[in-house]
Structure 1
Amino acid sequence: MKRATRFMVEKAAYNGGYVWSYTADFSRRWGELEAKPSMVWVQPPGTPTMGHLFLDAYHATGDDYYYRAAERAAEALIWGQKPSGGWNYFIDFGGPASTRDWYETLGKNAWRMEEFQHDWGNATFDDAGASEAMQFLLRLYVEKRDPRWKPALDRAIGFVLESQYPVGGWPQRWPVNPKFEGDYTGYITFNDDVAGENIKFLTMVYQALGDERVLDPINRAMTSFLVTQQGQPQPGWALQYTPDLKPAAARSYEPRALATHTTATNVEQLMTFYELTGDTKFLARVPEALDWLDKVKLKAPRPDGRTHPTFIEIGTDRPLYVHRRGSNVVNGEYYVDYSPERTLGHYSAFRKIDVAGLRARYERLKATRPEEASRHSPLKARNLVPLPRYFATRDLVTSDLNVHAQRGGSAPDPEAVSKLVAGLNAEGYWPTPLVATSNPYRGEIPPARPDGDYATTHVGDRTDTSPYPAKDPPLGISTGAYIQNMTVLIDWLGERR
């Protein structure tokens, strides 16, 4: 564990921060897109996730080296914290000119990565980056009550409170400052669990700090799930809503529609809200949503087990399918129809939703008295509630496009632990196939006419800088693999004690 951590801290890190993956010679590196050497990633599993892991390792070993590594990660995050108190997807220590150059080259040419095609200039709640950074700063502060971390934590709390709409939801980006055509980032957002993550953070603030300012925002946020659920005969949810609570479109491949996976996630959240509050209003319309999910499911599961179309047309319950034509940011476009053939490769047209499991949880909660269901709620605790000692891979996203998150819970397998110990190479990292790669920016102007068929691929022509699966992935350094492997070893230490 120490050798692997020394490699990450002393060779992979830049100013205490991390991206998602690196070639073995460090000649290239990636977050969700290719990154400059001066950049570190906030979006998981980047710098905040590494900070969580370091705190976990510190708790497991008592070794101060891990705590110092967590401090360096926090320093990187604080350097890149926006005046609003939030974060962008990444931090560029090269300064504004370097960031501008990245957006005008690698970001601008990433056809399917529309959120990276220009610099919005504000902070984002998307993809749990801000949430994970805020949770990490809170953990670090309460660990030793070191006052160095309090100002940044206070700014982060302020970011969540000040950006909340009166109805209780949050925009995807804030401060809201529309300046690009088709800007959707000021809409109330459920996509990627923006609201759920903010409620989780504010709940952690209350349980760890006893800050009563967050109670009304938490309650308003939970209520926003109720007021955005559509009425019969389509009691589901959309990915995002206009400020006057109408379902709205977002990126070119996210049409105005109801979303089955978002509906399932929001049903899960409503049941969690019942456990937090004991208020039966959060269970009242769950059966309607579950019945609707059963109604719109596919006639038969797909070979990969997916059970539902992603998007459902408002007013008809017909599945909507997104397609694309062209080859790059200049000649390419997305469009929607009713055909399930040749759908996007990079954004699934189908989802696997366990409606039976959701219904079983609902029935358990319905049979549980409100005071019993909420008995362990941190919102009802009379005293401060300690935060969990371990976070990484328990409730965090650690997929860096090369490895996929594995949730903890089962006891470590001795053979697997032995393989991890033996698999650490002489340099101090676990060689991992870098499945995700991208075309380097070559300075070419994207051609005005398509040069092939890219309807179902992750990447377009040679000018497209979007990530895609490599045919012959080289071995390299994966931040996600480091986090997952360290967590197995941390669990093993726990089992031995």
Structure 2
Amino acid sequence: MARATRFMTDKVAVKGGYVWSYLSDFSRRWGEMEAYPTMIWTQAPGTPEVGQIFLDAYRATGDAQYYAAAEQVASALIAGQHPAGGWNYIIDFAGEASLKRWYETIGANGWRLEEFQHYYGNATFDDHATIECGRFLLRLHLEKGDPKSRAAVDRCVDFVLNSQYPNGGWPQRWPRMGEFSKQGRPDYTGFITLNDEVAQENIDFLLLVLQQLKDERVREPLMRAMSLMVDLQQPKPTPGWAMQYTMDLKPATGRTYEPASITPHGTAAAVGQMLDYYQLTGEDKYLARVGEAIDWIASVEIPAEKRGADGRNFYRDYEPGTGQLLTGHRSGSNSQNGRFWSAYAKDDATPAKSINVAALRARYQRVAAMSPEQATKDSALLGRGPSLLPPYVVSHVGGSDLNVTVYDDKKTAAVAELVASLNAEGYWPVELRTTSHPYAGPGPAQPPAGFVDPGQVGDSWDTSPFTLPRGPMGISTGAYINNMARLIAYLRTQKA
């Protein structure tokens, strides 16, 4: 663990921060897209998640090396914090001109990654970027009372509160700093956003702040946000939730391949939130229409004979009000000549999501049978129950507390094999099958002659990531996090 961590801090880190993967000679590196050598990433498995595993290692060993490494992560994140208090996906230590150049080149040519095709100059809740940074810095502050981290957390809380709309919702990006129109659609980043758990993560973060910092100013905003979730459920015959909404609470479009739609997976997630909020508040309004939502989900489950080989049992998008299935299409070959659109599905829809409807209904029935007093016995909102911040954030197996996880001989042998697989340089080599075309300038206005769309990426001018059958060996931030988590888990069981 110490050798692997020294390699990460001494050889991999850029001013204390990380991207997702690196070729072994560091000639190329990637976050969600290819990154400059001066960049770090806030999206998982990026910089804040590395900071969390450092704190897990410190908690397990008491070794100051890990706390110092976590402090370096905090310094990187604080240096890249937007003046408004949030974070962008990317921090570029070469400065704003370099970041703008990246957006104008690599970002602009990622055909299916439209969120990177325009430089807004603001911060985002998308992909948990802001909240993961805030959550790590809060944990670091609580570990030893670090004042720099506390100041950054306070700015992050200000960002969450200041960006919230009066009705309780949040935009995807804030503050508003210019708009970006694609194929004539309005800029979606100001819509009320549920996609990628924006509202859920913000509510959970404010609840954590309320419990851990006793900051009462967050109570009313988080209750307002929970109440909005009730209002966002649509009427029959599609009584579910969308990914984003206009200010009059109507489903809205997102990126050009994201139609205004009701989604089964988003509805299942919202149902889980409704049950959580009943257990926080004891208020019946959170249960009132959950049964409708679950019945609708069950009504659109794909029959077993039509599912894919991976068992996915739901399509993605249904038209609000009619319930007709929508499916996405694209034509062209790159971000210059390509376009996405949605149409009513015939036989061309692909199963996209998996939902355990029986488990969802069983939880609803269990929670609905509780009295308000029973439901709220562990409500953090009411000052009850255990801490929302576990002692180990990353180092868990199957969600269970590792202090009661038994390591048998087979598992112990696997740990020994993991230790032995750390190479002489100090990292675990991983086959990097995800890659991208290097930036080669703007793509042609017409698809190249003979171009056949492979589905995941376009032509050689498309800088979107794609997966190869085989790839070179390299360095993976995610592998470091996962392997450290396994070793920390083993240490914990040995101490127990």
Q: CA deviation at 1:286?
A: 0.8
* Contact 1:33-1:466 within 8 A present in 2 as well: yes
Match of 2:482 in 1: 484
Match of 1:122 in 2: 122
Q: Secondary structure at the match of 2:488?
A: helix
Match of 1:400 in 2: none
Whichever residue aligns with residue 369 of structure 2, its letter is A
1:434 aligns with 2:426: no
> Alignment partner for residue 255 of structure 1, among 241, 253, 259?
259
What CA deviation, in whole Å up to 9, does each residue of 1:137-181 have, x standing for no partner? 110111111212222111100000011111111000001244222
* Contact 2:451-2:459 within 8 A present in 1 as well: no
Q: Which moved more, 1:237-246 or 1:296-305?
A: 296-305
Relative to structure 1, the CA distance from residue 68 to residue 255 in structure 2 (aligned partners, 3 Å threshold; closer, same or farther) is same
Match of 2:314 in 1: 308
Q: CA deviation at 1:484?
A: 0.7
* Contact 1:242-1:248 within 8 A present in 2 as well: yes
Relative to structure 1, the CA distance from residue 453 to residue 377 in structure 2 (aligned partners, 3 Å threshold; closer, same or farther) is farther
> Alignment partner for residue 339 of structure 2, among 333, 351, 355?
333
* Contact 2:109-2:442 within 8 A present in 1 as well: no
Equivalent positions of 1:194-205 (< 5 A) are 194-205=198-209
* Contact 2:7-2:427 within 8 A present in 1 as well: yes
Q: Secondary structure at the match of 2:32?
A: coil
> What is the aligned-residue identity percentage?
53
Relative to structure 1, the CA distance from residue 407 to residue 33 in structure 2 (aligned partners, 3 Å threshold; closer, same or farther) is farther
Q: CA deviation at 1:43?
A: 1.0
Q: CA deviation at 1:442?
A: 2.1
Relative to structure 1, the CA distance from residue 389 to residue 454 in structure 2 (aligned partners, 3 Å threshold; closer, same or farther) is farther
C-alpha distance in structure 2 between counterparts of 1:29 and 1:408, whole Å = 34
1:93 aligns with 2:81: no
What CA deviation, in whole Å up to 9, does each residue of 1:228-263 have, x standing for no partner? 000122110111001111110010110011111111
> Structure 2: which 5+ runs fail to align?
none
* Contact 2:302-2:315 within 8 A present in 1 as well: yes
Relative to structure 1, the CA distance from residue 472 to residue 384 in structure 2 (aligned partners, 3 Å threshold; closer, same or farther) is closer
Equivalent positions of 1:417-428 (< 5 A) are 417-428=415-426
Equivalent positions of 1:166-185 (< 5 A) are 166-181=166-181, 182-185=186-189
Q: Secondary structure at the match of 1:356?
A: helix
Relative to structure 1, the CA distance from residue 496 to residue 121 in structure 2 (aligned partners, 3 Å threshold; closer, same or farther) is same
Q: Secondary structure at the match of 2:143?
A: helix
Q: Which moved more, 1:301-310 or 1:285-294?
A: 301-310
C-alpha distance in structure 1 between counterparts of 2:442 and 2:233, whole Å = 46
Relative to structure 1, the CA distance from residue 452 to residue 467 in structure 2 (aligned partners, 3 Å threshold; closer, same or farther) is farther
Relative to structure 1, the CA distance from residue 215 to residue 41 in structure 2 (aligned partners, 3 Å threshold; closer, same or farther) is same
C-alpha distance in structure 2 between counterparts of 1:407 and 1:87, whole Å = 28
Q: CA deviation at 1:368?
A: 2.2
Relative to structure 1, the CA distance from residue 130 to residue 452 in structure 2 (aligned partners, 3 Å threshold; closer, same or farther) is farther
Q: CA deviation at 1:408?
A: 6.0
C-alpha distance in structure 1 between counterparts of 2:84 and 2:248, whole Å = 24
CA RMSD of aligned residues (A): 1.8
Q: CA deviation at 1:373?
A: 2.0
Match of 2:328 in 1: 322
Q: Secondary structure at the match of 1:309?
A: coil
Q: Secondary structure at the match of 2:466?
A: strand
What CA deviation, in whole Å up to 9, does each residue of 1:260-298 have, x standing for no partner? 111111111111112222222211211100000011222
Q: CA deviation at 1:98?
A: 0.8
Match of 2:371 in 1: 369
C-alpha distance in structure 1 between counterparts of 2:31 and 2:365, whole Å = 41
1:268 aligns with 2:272: yes
Q: Secondary structure at the match of 1:165?
A: coil
Match of 1:352 in 2: 354
Relative to structure 1, the CA distance from residue 386 to residue 251 in structure 2 (aligned partners, 3 Å threshold; closer, same or farther) is closer
1:135 aligns with 2:141: no
Match of 1:415 in 2: 413
Q: CA deviation at 1:372?
A: 2.0
Q: CA deviation at 1:454?
A: 5.0
Relative to structure 1, the CA distance from residue 341 to residue 462 in structure 2 (aligned partners, 3 Å threshold; closer, same or farther) is farther
Equivalent positions of 1:20-35 (< 5 A) are 20-35=20-35
> Structure 1: which 5+ runs fail to align?
396-405
Match of 1:45 in 2: 45
Whichever residue aligns with residue 469 of structure 1, its letter is T
* Contact 1:110-1:116 within 8 A present in 2 as well: yes
* Contact 1:323-1:342 within 8 A present in 2 as well: no
Q: CA deviation at 1:318?
A: 1.7
C-alpha distance in structure 1 between counterparts of 2:340 and 2:385, whole Å = 52
C-alpha distance in structure 1 between counterparts of 2:309 and 2:47, whole Å = 36
C-alpha distance in structure 2 between counterparts of 1:287 and 1:320, whole Å = 24
What CA deviation, in whole Å up to 9, does each residue of 1:375-418 have, x standing for no partner? 122212269947211111659xxxxxxxxxx7666735223212
C-alpha distance in structure 2 between counterparts of 1:369 and 1:42, whole Å = 41
Q: CA deviation at 1:309?
A: 1.0
Relative to structure 1, the CA distance from residue 386 to residue 221 in structure 2 (aligned partners, 3 Å threshold; closer, same or farther) is closer
Whichever residue aligns with residue 296 of structure 1, its letter is V
Q: CA deviation at 1:68?
A: 0.6
C-alpha distance in structure 1 between counterparts of 2:218 and 2:331, whole Å = 46
1:228 aligns with 2:226: no
C-alpha distance in structure 1 between counterparts of 2:52 and 2:38, whole Å = 22
Relative to structure 1, the CA distance from residue 118 to residue 381 in structure 2 (aligned partners, 3 Å threshold; closer, same or farther) is same
Whichever residue aligns with residue 217 of structure 1, its letter is P
Q: Secondary structure at the match of 1:235?
A: coil
What CA deviation, in whole Å up to 9, does each residue of 1:4-25 have, x standing for no partner? 1111111110000000000011
1:462 aligns with 2:468: no
Q: CA deviation at 1:450?
A: 4.6
Q: Which moved more, 1:426-435 or 1:413-422?
A: 413-422
Runs of 4+ in structure 1 deviating by more than 6 angstroms, as ranges, are none
Equivalent positions of 1:69-84 (< 5 A) are 69-84=69-84
What CA deviation, in whole Å up to 9, does each residue of 1:335-370 have, x standing for no partner? 212336566xxxx75211111110011111112222
Match of 1:208 in 2: 212
C-alpha distance in structure 2 between counterparts of 1:188 and 1:451, whole Å = 42
Instruction: Give the aligned length.
Output: 483
Q: TM-score, normalised by structure 1?
A: 0.93
What CA deviation, in whole Å up to 9, does each residue of 1:88-139 have, x standing for no partner? 0010001011111111111111100100011011110000111100100110
Q: CA deviation at 1:299?
A: 2.7
Whichever residue aligns with residue 437 of structure 2, its letter is N
* Contact 2:282-2:372 within 8 A present in 1 as well: yes
Q: Which moved more, 1:453-462 or 1:312-321?
A: 453-462
Relative to structure 1, the CA distance from residue 13 to residue 342 in structure 2 (aligned partners, 3 Å threshold; closer, same or farther) is farther
Whichever residue aligns with residue 132 of structure 2, its letter is E
* Contact 1:263-1:289 within 8 A present in 2 as well: yes
